[in-house]
């Protein structure tokens, strides 16, 4: 007698919806990083002073660094959420 095996569903990270979810998390992180970086640069006089004396591209590099960091963090968090969501089902 054979045991009834349920077909194993593929991990949702590899599926098109998983990729869309990860891209969504990355975009949310990038938006938060952009908002945080610009708010910090405009509201904190010490950061504004550093950026003023840092050259013409200092604000761009500062903001892009924050955007990239937040986007990577949000994407990794999205991976954890998707894996946890798969385990619950």
Residue 36's pLDDT is 93
What values do phi and psi take at 54, rounded to 5?
-90, -5
The vertex-72 CA angle with 50 and 63, nearest 5°, equals 20
For the chain, the structural domain boundaries read 29-88
With beta carbons less than 8 A apart as the criterion, state whether 41 and 62 touch. Answer: yes
Phi, psi of 80 (to 5 degrees): -65, -45
Q: What is the pLDDT of residues 23-67, one digit of tens each?
A: 999 999 999 999 998 898 889 888 888 888 887 788 888 889 999
């Amino acid at each position: 007698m054979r045991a009834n095996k349920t077909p194993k569903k593929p991990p949702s990270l590899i599926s098109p919806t998983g990729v869309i979810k990860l891209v969504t998390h990355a975009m949310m992180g990038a938006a938060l990083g952009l908002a945080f970086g610009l708010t910090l640069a405009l509201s904190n006089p010490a950061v504004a002073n550093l950026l003023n004396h840092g050259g013409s591209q200092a604000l761009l590099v500062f903001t892009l660094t924050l955007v990239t960091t937040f986007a990577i963090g949000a994407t990794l968090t999205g991976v954890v959420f998707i894996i946890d969501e798969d385990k619950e089902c």
